[in-house]
Amino acid sequence: GDSVTQTEGLVTLTEGLPVMLNCTYQTIYSNAFLFWYVHYLNESPWLLLRSSTDNKRTEHQGFHATLHKSSSSFHLQKSSAQLSDSALYYCALSETSGGSNYKLTFGKGTLLTVTP
Partner 1 sequence: DPKIIQKPKYLVAVTGSEKILICEQYLGHNAMYWYRQSAKKPLEFMFSYSYQKLMDNQTASSRFQPQSSKKNHLDLQITALKPDDSATYFCASSPHWGGNYAEQFFGPGTRLTVL
Given the complex with partner 1, which of 36 and 75 has the nearer CB atom?
36
Given the complex with partner 1, which of 71 and 101 has the nearer CB atom?
101
For residues 33 and 62, give the distance between their C-alpha atoms in angstroms, rounded to a whole number. 21
Q: Which residue in 50, 64, 68, 69 binds partner 1 (CB under 8 A)?
A: 50
Given the complex with partner 1, which of 85 and 95 has the nearer CB atom?
95
> Near partner 1 by CB under 8 A, which window of 11-19, 38-46, 55-63, 65-73?
38-46
Q: Which residue in 74, 81, 109, 112 binds partner 1 (CB under 8 A)?
A: 109
Q: Which helix (H) or strand (E) holds 76?
A: strand 76-78
Quick check: 81 binds partner 1 (CB under 8 A)?
Answer: no
Q: How many residues can be counted in the chain? A: 116
- Compute and round to an integer the Cα radius of gyration of the chain: 14
Q: How far is CA 89 from CA 10, 19, 46, in A?
A: 10, 12, 10
Q: What is the DSSP letter of 81?
A: -
Q: Which residue in 74, 89, 96, 112 binds partner 1 (CB under 8 A)?
A: 96
Single-letter amino acid code for the residue at 10: L
